[in-house]
Amino acid sequence: MEYLSALLNGLSYGMLLFLLGAGLSLVFGVGRFVNLAHGGLYIIGGYVGFTVFDRLDNFWPGMIIGPLVGAGLGLAADLLVLRRLHGHGREPDQVLITFGLALIIADATRAGWGGDIRSVRAPAPFDRPLEVGEFIYPTYPLFIIGVGLLVLALLWLLLQRTRLGAMIRAAAGDPQMAQVLGIPTGPVLRLTFALGVALAALGGVVGLPRLALAPGRDFEMLLLALVVVVIGGLGRIEGAFWASLLVGLTDSYGKLFFPEFTVAMIFGLLALVLIWRPEGLLGRRAA
C-alpha cells in the first residue's frame, strides 16, 4: 500500500516539476536563454490563481488566467529587456538580469499579496479521496498527473506536428540559417519564451491546492527546476520529463525509507548524473 501511494506521490510531484522544468528547458533549448526568473513566474501563477479563487470562489478559471498573465509578463519582459540579451556569449548578462528580475518579482509579490501563507482547497470533484477497498488515496494528485501528461502530449504535437513547431525547431537548431530561410526567428523566440513562462505559471496554479505559497517558494522551485533541467539534459523536453519523474520518485521513496536524507538524495542524484553523464540523461555532448 505504502509503495503504491509513494509511486503516485512521486509521479504527481514529478509532473508538477515537469511543468516547471519543461518551460525552463524549452526556453533554454530554443533561445539558448538562461531564465533565473522562472521560479518567480511559478509563484506569480500561483498568486494569480489564488486571487481568482478568492474573488470567484472557483478554482478553474485560474488555470487559464494564471498562464495568460504569465505569458503576458513574459512577452513584456522580452520586449522591454530580454531581447537585448539574446545570443551566444551573453549568458552572464542573462543570469544577472533574470536573477535581478527574480528579486523584483519576489519583492513585488510580497508587496502585492503580503508575506502570509496562501493556499486553496482542492476543487471539486478532486476534493475527496479515492477509496478502493483498503487503499485510500487523494484524487487531486491524480489530476496533477493528468495535467502533466496532457502538457507533454500537447508539447510533442506542437513541436513535431505543426508549422510553428517546425519553425521553433529550426530556430533552435541553427538560428542564422533559419533566418536566411525566411523564418522570423525573433518572434518565434519570443513566443517560445512566453510559452515557457506560461508553463511555469500553470505549474503555480496547479500546485496551489497541493503546496502552499509563501515568500521563498519561488527560489525553491527555481532550484528544483534547474535540477530537473540539468539532470534531463539542457534543452530536451523528453529529458526534462524523465528527470522530473526521477526527482519526484526519489523524493517520495526517499521520504518513505530515509526521511532524514530526502533533500540530500535529490542533490546526490544530481551529482551522480553529472559525474556519469555531464551532458544530462538525454543531453547531446557538447561539440
In the complex, the residues that contact another protein under the rule CB under 8 A are 1-2, 5-6, 8-9, 13, 99-100, 103, 107, 110, 114-119, 121-122, 127-129, 131, 136-141, 209-212, 214-217, 220, 251-252, 255-256, 259-260, 262-263
Q: What are the backbone angles phi and psi of residue 136, rounded to the nearest 5°? A: -125, 130
Q: Which is nearer to another protein, 6 or 178 (CB)?
A: 6
Question: Whose Cβ is closer to another protein: residue 93's or residue 279's?
Answer: 93
The number of beta carbons lying within 10 Å of the beta carbon of residue 81 is: 13
Give the C-alpha separation, 244 to 19, whole Å.
9
Q: Please, what is the minimum distance in Å from the beta carbon of residue 214 to another protein?
A: 5
Q: Which is nearer to another protein, 107 or 174 (CB)?
A: 107
Give, in order, the Cα–Cα distances in Å from 103 to each of 20, 21, 38, 216, 231: 18, 20, 11, 10, 25
Count CB-CB contacts under 10 A for residue 35: 29
Other C-beta atoms lying within 10 Å of the C-beta of residue 252:
21
Of the two residues 2 and 276, which places its CB atom closer to another protein in the complex? 2
Cβ neighbours of residue 128 under 8 Å, at least 6 residues apart?
139
Residue 100: CB minimum distance to another protein, A: 7
Q: Which is nearer to another protein, 6 or 37 (CB)?
A: 6
Instruction: State in angstroms the smallest separation of the CB of 168 from another protein.
Output: 32
Q: How far is the CB of 247 from another protein (least distance, A)?
A: 12
3-state class (DSSP) for residue 137: strand
**Cell representation of residue 91:** 549568458
At closest approach, how far in Å is the CB of 220 from another protein? 8
